[in-house]
């Protein structure tokens, strides 16, 4: 099964998800913009509309989509629009890209539950949208933390 998330810089998100039990593989890339086959440099201009994202292959017998969503919520700030920490721009937006109606329903319910929980003072700005074309990022971005001894 596939899941796709945007939660700021894809290096951190990929590293965190790759260590999650039940996740079989991860790829970082660009999603949700207007330019086909964008490069990192183009996405960083903040003009292509893409988000940095991680595409996850997971085993639903080991981890549920609900559990993956929980990992997503608990590892970034879903209340900052187009920003995570020092990273600012539309490419760093919080987003859940669903692959089917079941994922959409789970994501929307999860967001509503989190909003009602009072965990955050500010509103959750995470977008929940259908998965458009995922463009795999350049090889030097794949498994970046692991390649550089940061994982």
Residue of 6, 7, 8, 9 marked active site: 9
3-state secondary structure labels for all residues of the chain: CEEEEEECCHHHHHHHHHCCCCEEEEEEEEECCCCCCCCHHHHCCCCCCCEEEEEEEECCCCCCHHHHHHHHHCCCCCCCCCEECCEECHHHCEEEEECCHHHHHHHHHHHHHHHHHCCCCCCCCCEEEECCCEEECCHHHCCHHHHCCCC
Whether 44 sits among the annotated catalytic residues: the reply is no
Active site residues: 9
């Amino acid at each position: 099964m596939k899941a796709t998330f945007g939660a700021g810089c894809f290096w951190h998100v990929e590293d965190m998800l790759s260590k999650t039990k039940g996740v079989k593989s991860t790829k970082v890339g660009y999603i949700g913009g207007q330019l086909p086959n964008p490069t990192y440099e183009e996405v960083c201009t903040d003009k292509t509309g893409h988000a940095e994202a991680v595409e996850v292959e997971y085993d639903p017998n080991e981890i549920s989509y609900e559990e993956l969503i929980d990992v997503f919520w608990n590892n970034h700030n879903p209340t900052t629009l187009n920003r995570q920490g020092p990273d600012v721009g539309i490419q760093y937006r919080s987003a859940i890209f669903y692959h089917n109606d079941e994922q959409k329903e789970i994501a929307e319910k999860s967001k509503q539950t989190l909003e009602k929980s009072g965990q955050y003072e500010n509103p959750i700005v995470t977008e929940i949208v259908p998965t458009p074309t995922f463009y795999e990022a350049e090889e030097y971005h794949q498994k970046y933390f692991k390649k550089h001894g940061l994982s």
